[in-house]
Structure 1
Amino acid sequence: MGWQSRTRSLQVFDTELSADSVEWCPLNQWSHILACGTYQLQKNEAKAGVESTTPSRTGRLYLFQFHSQGSFTPPLTEIQRIDTPAILDLKWCHVPVSERPVLGMATANGEIELHTLIDAQQGSCLERAMSTELGPDRLALSMDWSTGRGESSDTRLVSSDSTGSLTVLSLGEASLNAISQWKAHDFEAWISAFSYWDTQLVYSGGDDCKLKGWDLRLGPSSPTFTCKRHSMGVCSIHSNPHREHVLATGSYDENVLLWDGRNMRQPLSETAVGGGVWRLKWHPTQEHLLLAACMHNDFHILHCQQAMDGNDGPCPILASYILHNSLAYGADWSWLPLSSPPPSSPQEPAPAIVEFTESGGHLRIQYESPTASFDTSLEDDSGRYIPDYTLPPEKTAVPSPAPLPSLGESSPSVSCLLATCSFYDHMLHVWRWDWSPEETETVSGGDETEPAPS
């Protein structure tokens, strides 16, 4: 039996500032709520004829609600925007705090801020609850909650920062307190994450190309393991909330690795995705589906069942969302169930088409993060400078093995709502993915997404 994979864009929203983080609320009553964070690097104005070398980093937090009201009504509605320091990461707590949803935010001024979702007369809105500083002269780069499996006992957070340090924080009734802080990496610690099955275990990845594990019961004097399997900076880690010991990691080296946490010497699988892997997200209910934000090469959904069962080889790519025109940074699955058929195409926005009459040039950006500014130049294949043109980096084709696997007898089809955002074009996309059996033998490539403009 063949399988049909189809992505369909529902709505596009201009965030005005560069977008790098997007998160759906995981709590049932509020699963229609979506948050999006932005990061804008701005040079300060010169003073007394001297140009300032210290950039300012500003951001904005958007809050949306999603209501599907038919094919011709945009489903996403902005309900709040808050000007903030630049936002590097957003995460909703997986359980209510004092019976309310809580959104955590890692900011460029080195703070972790918590916002509570409240019901006001005009609808839901976020209200700042508490915050804590990680330390001077640092950017908070990531955060994760210990509540990934929906367990509410001993709610804690872990954060990583630009000094290479990790901080574990405990959430009290009215305060957010640092339990421990230690130097974990030689350069920026891009990512930190809990093991959702044993929340005394913490993972971290840094610009030193190292993936490390830490046991909070033993203290931070030395890691439980140091893995150098990634060849470039490690910038994404996510513990599988459905399958114990399974861990996914991503890197600037353009590979997604799956691990058994009991053996960190050799990964279960390695999948080349054609772009630096900034974020990885396991599906809320399907243990084998993994969403990857691949910077220079769009967004991909990976099928990880065979790898988790011990079979060798890369994970098949079931679908790719290719309608963004800039760096793919933020990505998340919605917890909302989708039972209705996909909307008809008239509501689907058309992506901007940019054509260049000159050929022979390409732009290579091997290494990049949302915290850095950089200069690029366009060169031809001989290394000669081509002036006055700016082209996006060439995207790498990601082949998908065939035949594609099914999702199993217990789940003959899946329909998912997703949100993704991209950086320099400051765009938020809401889209759906449908994966279902079909009567034809095999869908070539496993994806029926409309082709991107050339």
Structure 2
Amino acid sequence: MAWKSRTHNLQVFDTELSADTVEWCPLSSSHDILACGTYQLEKGAGEEDATPTRTGRLYLFEYRREGLMSPPLTELQRMDTAAILDLKWCHVPLSGEAVLGMAAATGELQLYTLSHSPEGGRSLHTLCSLEVGTERLALSLDWSTGRMDSSSDVRVVCSDSAGCVSVLSLAEGALVALSQWKAHDFEAWISAFSYWDTQLVYSGGDDCKLKGWDLRAGPSCPTFTSKRHSMGVCSIHSNPHREHILATASYDEQVLLWDGRNMRQPLSESPVGGGVWRLKWHPTHQHLLLAACMHNDFHILNCQQAFEGSGEACPVVASYILHNSLAYGADWSRMSPEEPAPCSPVATEPKESLTESGGHLRIQYESPTASFDTSLEDDAGRYIPEGIAAPSITPIAGPALNSNEDSPSLSCLLASCSFYDHMLHVWRWDWTPDEAQQESTGSNVDPAGALAALTL
């Protein structure tokens, strides 16, 4: 079946400081909430050897589609913080509230609760923090709740620049360190739980190693050590829908899929270019994987055939290229682009509204090969790039994505951010079967280009 795949930009927001992480809230009552973190390295004034400082800012947004003439994001809050390396929402409410975890350049893991004010507004408030080590940066975190299972045993895993991995528990509103060990020779860029067996933890480091750890056996020896990646391992994500499936990525520009029962040989190896900083499985469709490829934009991979044992690289079904800098943060929303916002208290006047627009917003994008203008607002108020033709590409066959087989289509809402141009983008991806093309040609080739991989 020929498929049409299109990406549309909905809004661009200037974070002022370098943006490196974005996270949509997974809780049903707050699907419209988006957090974005920034990281800014400030060189010391005066002496050349002055210690640089790392500062950051945490943004909180609300997504609400109230009309075509209004950009959908409204800023609810901004907080100046230490530089932020990673953000992750807990997948279940804790004491009835959404909780956001932050890995900070001060070596701290900081937790914030999302609170509702009597007037109807929502904001983040400090819950607690814990330093995982002195003179180090906390680099990543993951919650043990990835399958949305409520549990009294909620834990967080955190990796740091000293090569250590820490496991912490949250009890009575306080973080408690359960264990910490030296996992990698250099920076431990990433750590993650197996969402199917939360006694299993994975880590990846700048020593090019991917390791597994069984918390029941203690951290004295990893359950496996893989050197399949040829450069630093930056991203690990356990599939919350399919047991044993693990995705990993590296500076080596490869996305590997694994069956956790056999870590000697990956199920597939997919070259995506640019070095991969983050991977995110789709919140409901088990075979869709979002990749933030630092020097090569953002891509969505279809991993279905790899699950079935084809051994082939996962095809890219969509690409989003409208960032102008390092592609670092990316996440799927659980809302559809047209879905009404979750029921919530009546909003008060926001701190800063993003709905005022003085005409068309135009941004100049550059790349090593070309530059182009794009208008991010059309006459109907939709933020869609103009004048960019999709290339002619053989479309990717895909399975029916909806439970309704008569309408096998998918519309997704996503957010992504890029570093040096300090930009947050909210965009949508539509994937639908090209029935008209099939009827007119009887072919699987869509000459108009079935994918939205916009290349310069």
Moved over 6 A (4+): 355-359, 398-401
Distance 1:9 1:329 in 2: 17
Distance 2:360 2:370 in 1: 30
- Which structure 2 residues correspond to residues 1-400 of structure 1 after superposition, within 5 A? 1-46=1-46, 50-120=47-117, 121=119, 123-153=121-151, 154-339=153-338, 350-354=362-366
**Paired letter, 1:406:** P
Distance 1:348 1:263 in 2: 53
Distance 2:370 2:155 in 1: 54
Match of 2:399 among 399, 402, 406: 406
Q: Normalised by the size of structure 1, how large is the TM-score?
A: 0.86
Summarize deviations over 1:225-253 as a string: whole Å, max 9, x none.
00000000000000000000000000000
Q: Corresponding residue for 1:424?
A: 420
Does the 8 Å CA contact 1:3/1:406 hold for their aligned counterparts? no
Deviation (angstroms), 1:51: 3.3
Deviation (angstroms), 1:351: 3.6
Deviation (angstroms), 1:400: 7.4
Does the 8 Å CA contact 1:316/1:404 hold for their aligned counterparts? no
**Paired letter, 2:38:** T
Does the 8 Å CA contact 2:56/2:82 hold for their aligned counterparts? yes
1:443 aligns with 2:446: yes
Distance 2:55 2:234 in 1: 22
Does the 8 Å CA contact 1:17/1:426 hold for their aligned counterparts? yes
**Paired letter, 2:315:** P
Distance 1:352 1:241, change over 3 A: same
Percent identity for Structure 1 against Structure 2: 67
Q: Corresponding residue for 2:411?
A: 415
**Paired letter, 1:126:** L
Deviation (angstroms), 1:409: 7.1
Does the 8 Å CA contact 2:248/2:279 hold for their aligned counterparts? yes
Distance 2:367 2:303 in 1: 37
Unaligned runs of 5+ in 2: 341-357, 372-390, 439-444
Distance 2:393 2:225 in 1: 31
In structure 2, the residue corresponding to 1:278 is in which secondary structure?
strand
Distance 1:161 1:150, change over 3 A: same
| Range 59-68 or range 435-444, more displaced | 435-444
Distance 1:312 1:60 in 2: 42
Distance 1:259 1:123, change over 3 A: same
**Paired letter, 2:9:** S
Does the 8 Å CA contact 2:234/2:249 hold for their aligned counterparts? yes
Distance 1:431 1:348, change over 3 A: farther
Deviation (angstroms), 1:317: 0.5
Does the 8 Å CA contact 2:106/2:138 hold for their aligned counterparts? yes
In structure 1, the residue corresponding to 2:364 is in which secondary structure?
coil
Does the 8 Å CA contact 2:315/2:396 hold for their aligned counterparts? no
Unaligned runs of 5+ in 1: 360-397
**Paired letter, 1:352:** Q
Distance 1:354 1:144, change over 3 A: closer
Deviation (angstroms), 1:348: 8.3
Distance 1:408 1:82, change over 3 A: closer
Distance 1:235 1:400, change over 3 A: farther
In structure 2, the residue corresponding to 1:199 is in which secondary structure?
coil
Deviation (angstroms), 1:338: 3.7
Does the 8 Å CA contact 1:302/1:319 hold for their aligned counterparts? yes
Distance 2:303 2:108 in 1: 35
Deviation (angstroms), 1:356: 9.0
Does the 8 Å CA contact 1:158/1:192 hold for their aligned counterparts? yes
Deviation (angstroms), 1:340: 6.7
In structure 1, the residue corresponding to 2:286 is in which secondary structure?
coil
Distance 1:176 1:249 in 2: 28
How many residues are matched? 407
Distance 1:253 1:217 in 2: 32
Does the 8 Å CA contact 1:45/1:52 hold for their aligned counterparts? no
Distance 2:268 2:397 in 1: 17
In structure 2, the residue corresponding to 1:446 is in which secondary structure?
coil
Distance 1:288 1:268 in 2: 13
Q: Corresponding residue for 2:345?
A: none
